Amino acid sequence: MTRVNERIRAPRVRVVSGKGEQLGVMDTREAVQRAKAIGLDLVEVATKADPPVCRVVDYGKWKYEQSKLKKNTKSKAVTRLKEVKFRVRTEAHDYNIKLGRAEAFLDEGHKVRMQLQFRGRENAHRELGFEKMVRIKGDLETMGHVDQEPKLVGRNVVMVLSPLPESQRERKFKLSHGDLIEEDDFEEDDLEENDLEEEGSDAEVEDHAGDEEE
């Protein structure tokens, strides 16, 4: 939380003008009085500095500019292709965690590749994998739309989702204590966008190689 004027706790602060000019270190109360004397506010902008750094500005205008800057920075963030892996037998608790993980990625504006892996005898019942993908698609419909419908790539079924517009997103998957599952609750897998086709090709090559051995 940004501290302004009398809410600033440090007894002394380093004061900077709105134009970035250094005004020196002074008593906080004195700095507040000087700012108000010219119709402005004293805003703490670097709390961890010693002493904290404060800027003399119009707080309302400064807050608006900071919000606009943050929004522009977020819109320029690099979009990555994230990946969440499933199994045919993924249990309910793990399923919810993974869906929460996917929601967090989508909420950050990333695309998400859902990958379901078949192992052993599961390969004889691949329709179960497609059924689970349909369920995943339905469960994430409030966060993303399908860019690539579920398809078989080697021994995996893959599907790619893109985030809905921010105003339309609604997260549903939560931890048992009621909080939304956040990125800190899991380890992150990063994939570049072009990895989708490259890995798909590798999987198909591996699949054919296995067929030849048999």
Query: Which pLDDT score, from 0 to 100, does residue 203 have?
Result: 40
Per-residue pLDDT of 134-191, as tens digits, reads: 999 999 999 999 999 999 988 889 999 999 998 899 998 865 444 544 443 333 343 4
* 111 inside domain: yes
Longest CA–CA separation in the chain, Å: 86
Range of the domain at 49: 5-60
115 and 53, same domain (yes or no): no
Count of domains in the chain?
2
Query: Which pLDDT score, from 0 to 100, does residue 37 have?
Result: 94
64: phi > 0 → left, psi -120 to 50 → alpha, else beta; which?
Answer: alpha
Where would I find the beta strands (DSSP E) of the chain?
Answer: 12-16, 22-27, 41-46, 53-57, 81-87, 111-117, 144-153, 156-163, 190-191
114 and 12, same domain (yes or no): no
Query: Which pLDDT score, from 0 to 100, does residue 76 have?
Result: 59
Query: Which pLDDT score, from 0 to 100, does residue 120 have?
Result: 82
CATH code, domain carrying 24: 3.10.20.80
Q: pTM score, two decimals?
A: 0.48
CATH code, domain carrying 149: 3.30.110.10
Low-confidence ranges of the chain (pLDDT < 70): 73-78, 174-214
Query: Which pLDDT score, from 0 to 100, does residue 75 have?
Result: 58
